[in-house]
DNA sequence: ACGGTTCAAGCACGTTCGTGCTAAGAAGAT
DNA sequence: ATCTTCTTAGCACGAACGTGCTTGAACCGT
């Protein structure tokens, strides 16, 4: 064996460099040369760990998806362990939803990277697989959360997917606004919007509309 | 005077070429050479109408912002002319909100371009001004709409901005999902989510939370 | 001591990009 | 017919990009 180097750790260092570049300069600036510079390596060294630029980006996408999904699963486990309706439960729900938002430095970087990759995946086929995995993972957690929070436990299938998508859309929209218009979108507004949404989720749906949806 | 050419019309043709490229290949592919090809011109010709690549992109951003803002104003005028609570009124509100979503080919192109520019504006200072204008224009319409739809007419200032931001976030989130995950996000789901949101908007807020927000 | 494997670094090639500059053509004004 | 000005087109340069390939250096098992 050669020089002892933890290959996986090195790869992660390079990926972290990719994250920093995307967060500050955007995905289009995440070239091999820029990444190598940011990581303190030479281009050839980065290419030793990642066969191509595409592989580096796809792997980076995967890492951020795993991170976000892991945070959501952890936060959901906390929610799941608490008594529904209790103060701690509500706080845990807000904490879970806050994992989507750029509320601190680390979350902001991940949110930037996540957004950038998802939008890039619309165009670049290599990113499609990770984008689909990302969507499934997040939708699963949000779906379970909505099922837990809805008054009827999500017994009406159509209404459940509608409410899950509604929460997901609000979360992504909030995240987007927090990233793109940070001066208008403070953490306080985010919290107010989320609590307002949770209020509407708990309230029973108007029967008029449920009937309308059935037709 | 030389060859008679409607300069403004030519500029618009070039801008339309930019839109098509962004919608199909993304903003990073909207180079002068690609745009010139798509518009059936030479690079020098495009540069005759736009001094630089930046000017072309900024102007294109402005055009799409004007288009979207115009559509929203028109749709709001329709809403404003109808009796609140009537069936036509509700339909007009849905039509207004639908202007944000890629429900047909033209709307889809505009939504793609709009999203691409807004995200690019996070990084590129030249786009900041148009991004801010875009946000103000849209927020103004959504704010007026929310004021009109809320049961108390938006008398509580804090609650009004929260609800406006909540609707805006949901709209942008829906638009994003419709663009990025078209297979999961059909027009029907969009409509269901919007109607569900409107139901929650009309319902009075729980006094518990209003008090909580005040503290 | 030494061969083999892994790591780090760099060169070179072709492509694409924005942009400064030049030049030919087209048409109204004189 | 000539001049002027707008229009269209193209060349050339430097910069940045991905990538194939080569070159040392480091290190471990034998």
pLDDT grade for B211, boundaries at 50, 70 and 90: very low
Q: How far is CA A66 from the centre of its chain?
A: 9
b/e B60-85 (16+ beta carbons within 10 angstroms → b): bbbbbbebbbebbeebbeebeeeeee
Integer Cα distance of A131 and A47 in angstroms? 24
Integer Cα distance of A87 and A31 in angstroms? 47
> pTM, whole model, 2 decimals?
0.93
pLDDT grade for B97, boundaries at 50, 70 and 90: very high
Q: From the list B173, B197, B213, which residue is nearest A168 (CB)?
A: B173
Number of H helices, E strands in chain A: 10, 0
Q: Is B173 in contact with A172 (CB distance < 8 Å)?
A: yes
For the record, the structure tokens of B14 come out as: 């070039």
pLDDT one-digit tens code per residue, A41-94:
999 999 999 999 999 999 999 999 999 999 999 999 999 999 998 999 999 999
Pick from A44-48, A184-188, B152-156: least confident: B152-156
Q: How far is B184 from chain A (nearest CA, A)?
A: 10
Phi-psi region of B192 (alpha: psi -120 to 50; beta: other; left: phi over 0): alpha
Interchain contact A57–B (C-beta under 8 A): no
Mark which residues 78-107 of A lie under 8 Å from B by CB. none
| Nucleotide at minimal C1' distance from the B1 CA | C28
Give the residue with greater pLDDT, A208 vs A60: A60
């Amino acid at each position: 064996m050669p020089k002892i180097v933890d290959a996986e750790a090195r790869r992660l260092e390079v990926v972290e460099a990719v994250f920093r570049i995307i967060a500050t300069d955007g995905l289009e600036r995440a070239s091999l040369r820029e990444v190598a510079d940011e990581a303190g390596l030479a281009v050839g060294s980065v290419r030793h760990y990642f066969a191509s630029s595409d592989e580096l980006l796809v792997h980076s996408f995967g890492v951020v998806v795993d991170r976000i999904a892991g945070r959501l699963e952890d936060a959901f486990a906390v929610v799941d362990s608490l008594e529904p309706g209790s103060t701690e439960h509500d706080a845990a729900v807000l904490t879970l939803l806050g994992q989507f938002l750029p509320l601190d430095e680390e979350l902001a970087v991940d949110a930037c990277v996540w957004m950038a990759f998802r939008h890039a995946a619309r165009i670049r086929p290599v990113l499609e697989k990770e984008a689909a995995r990302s969507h499934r993972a997040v939708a699963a957690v949000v779906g379970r959360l909505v099922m837990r929070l809805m008054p009827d436990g999500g017994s009406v299938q159509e209404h459940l997917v509608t409410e899950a998508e509604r929460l997901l859309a609000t979360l992504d929209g909030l995240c987007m606004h927090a990233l793109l218009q940070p001066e208008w979108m403070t953490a306080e507004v985010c919290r107010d919007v989320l609590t307002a949404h949770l209020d509407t989720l708990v309230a029973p749906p108007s029967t008029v509309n449920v009937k309308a949806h059935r037709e």
